[in-house]
Structure formats: structure tokens, C-alpha cells
Copies of this chain bind each other. A is one copy, B any other.
Amino acid sequence: MTMKRVYNFAPGPSTMPQEVLEQAAREMLCYGDTGMNVMEMSHRSKQYQAIFDETEATLRDLMHISQDYAVLFLQGGATGQFAAIPMNLMTGSGTADYVDSGNFAHGALVEAGKYGKVNVVASSKDDKYAYIPELDASKFNPDADYFYITTNNTIYGTRYARLPETGKVPLVADMSSNILSEVYDVNRFGVIYAGAQKNVGPAGLTIVIVRRDLLGHAMPITPKIMDWKIMDEKGSMLNTPPTYAIYMAGLCMKWLKKQGGVEAIEKVNIEKAKLLYGALDDSDFYRPTARPDSRSRMNVTFTTPSPELDAEFVKAAAVHDLVNLKGHRVVGGIRASIYNAMPIEGVQALVDFMKKFELENK
């Protein structure tokens, strides 16, 4: 059996802690004394319910989520929630405020337009989404059913340095690419949701954290699996949940707790980002693409002097076991995703390679 491990900078699905994978391998034929793998367990069994409950409890602990919020483990990805959010929430005034800060934010607002009136309060689209747009509170609709942001934009490598003040209008946040990477006060949000495959665990699991007063307002056309209230009443088990993805996410969360939780990993993440952006800023060969005030700590985007060298960089890095550094197809360039599970040694190895590549290609 080959046992090589690379530094994997993929934007999601993405690298996972090695000790989590080792535990999953050990438990593959037999979990505890059950005589079966977690994938083979009935989701209605006591053993599986214990895994599920522990995962929810660990997430609540890591993010300090109070009982005022429901925690749902769903399927369908963030893209599924692009529809679920308006179907569950756009039933008051039938309108919502959206900030257009990237590809996924844009996809979300287009999808919401099927179910109600979308008010785009700000956009950085015309500037290739290189920054988080300024927010002018006078453009916010005080009667909106919710106010929607994407806290971290995976493709462009941008992040909200400050959250908008939306008053009584519930703030809804797609945290797919930075959940659990930094401390957020959950109480500032109406809804936080995230596809798991970037910073939580494997693909196929979507986490939705929703303030309980926002449950129970779904449109009659809402598919049952997208109705948060039904899913909350059924403990996320209206139907069979993605059982193994939840188990793996739980292992990753327990790993994070062992690292000291979100508070501790945030410090490491700031360190990692500083190291990489520092290397970019110190060089006149590399050019970071996100505006400094909007820089993401999770996805660091940059270019070399030419698209040809970008491609060469990605190829040469892979030879050094630094893989998946190609920028997203809609923007090109280079992107290093440095989620929680990427150790600082991986970032250091990348920085070392960057210096070498610069010397060779300047």
C-alpha cells in the first residue's frame, strides 16, 4: 500500500487531518464492538444516534451555539440552501437583501429570485470580485425578510473583515469556506450554513444553524427535505441522513477541539495567512489578487507575471507534492486553500517553493 501524503491546497473537497483518516481506517471493518462499519449502521440505531448526537454537541461546543438555535445536518450542499433559504424565509415581505461578493453569492441571489424579490445592496462584480463591496446602510431594506452575505469567497479569496449591521433583519451567512476557522458570535446571525467539504469534513453534508423563531414560515411549495422546521422536528432524520459524512465531520470536529477549538485554530490560521501574504507582499514577482482590506485567511489567490508562468508554477509545485494550486476556472491564476487541516508546515513548504520558483523564473 502506497502511503505518500501530499500537501493538498484544494479549495474543497480539501485536505483532512491525517489522524482523523487513520481513525476512520481503523474503524472501517468494525466500529467499537458493533461488528460493522458506521456506513452499515441503521440511522435509527442507538449506536448511530450516539455518533450523531456527539457530533452535534461538539459543533455546539466549538461554536458556542445556544439552544435558541437549531442545528441541522442536511444534504444538497450550499447550492441546495440557495433555494431553501428563500423558501423558508421569504414569506414576510417577500423580499431579501443580498450582497453580491462572488460567484456563489451571485448564484444564491439568482436562485432566490425564483421565489421572491431580491434587492442587491452592493456588488463588486464589475471589479472581478476582488474585494468585499462597501455597504451603505441607507440602501438596506428595513422590511427585508433577511440580509444575505457570503462571509468568505472561496474563488476570489476575499473575506468580510466586519459584519454588516442589519438591525432586526436576520443576517443569513454562507460560511462554507470559513466556518470553524475563526470566532463568530452566532447570536449575530439568523442563519449560518455551510457545505462541509471545505473546513468541516467530507462532501455530502450541509450544516444549517438557524434561530428557532425563523422556523415554521416555509412556503407551501417547499420540498419536505428543504423545510427546516420539519427537519428540526425530526432531528435531521426525516429521511436517512448522510451518516458517514456526519461521522467523519464529527471526527474532524473532535480533532479541532483537541487543537484548542476555534479560538486556538484562528490564531494558527492568522499565522498561516500572514506567512503566505507576507511572502506575496515581499515579492515583486507574485501579485496577490484580493484587495488587502478584503483578504481571506482561507483562500489565498495570486498570480505570477504571466498565465504561462502560472501554469508552470502549478505543475512544478505538484512535483514537490504541493498539489491543487490552480486557480478557479473563472479567474485563473493560483490559489492556495489553507483550511484548518492544512498545517503551517504545508504553508511554509509552499512559501519555500515560491521563493525557489521566483529565483528560477525571474
A interface residues (Cβ-Cβ under 8 A, vs B): 1-6, 8, 10-16, 18, 21-22, 24-26, 28-30, 32-37, 39-45, 75-80, 82-84, 87, 111, 114-115, 195, 197, 201-205, 220-221, 223-226, 238-245, 248, 321, 323-324, 329
Q: A18-B29, A204-B204 are in contact. List 17 more A-B contacts (CB 8 A).
A: A8-B35, A10-B45, A13-B39, A16-B39, A25-B25, A25-B28, A36-B323, A44-B329, A75-B75, A79-B225, A83-B223, A195-B240, A203-B240, A203-B243, A204-B205, A204-B242, A244-B245
Residues from chain B with Cβ under 8 Å of A321 in the complex = 35
| Interface contact B240-A39, CB-CB below 8 Å | no
| Interface contact A33-B2, CB-CB below 8 Å | yes
Main secondary structure of the interface of A (DSSP, over half): loop
| Interface contact B79-A76, CB-CB below 8 Å | no
Q: How many copies does the complex hold?
A: 2
CA distance A80 to B227 in the complex (A): 11
A341 to chain B: closest residue by CB: B40
> Given known contacts A28-B28, A42-B11, is B36 in contact with A224 (CB within 8 Å)?
no
CA distance A3 to B42 in the complex (A): 19
Residues from chain B with Cβ under 8 Å of A323 in the complex = 35-36
> Given known contacts A240-B13, A242-B242, is B221 in contact with A114 (CB within 8 Å)?
yes
Q: Among B13, B197, B238, B241, point to the contact of A203 (Cβ < 8 A).
A: B241
Shortest CB-to-CB span from A316 to chain B, Å, is 16
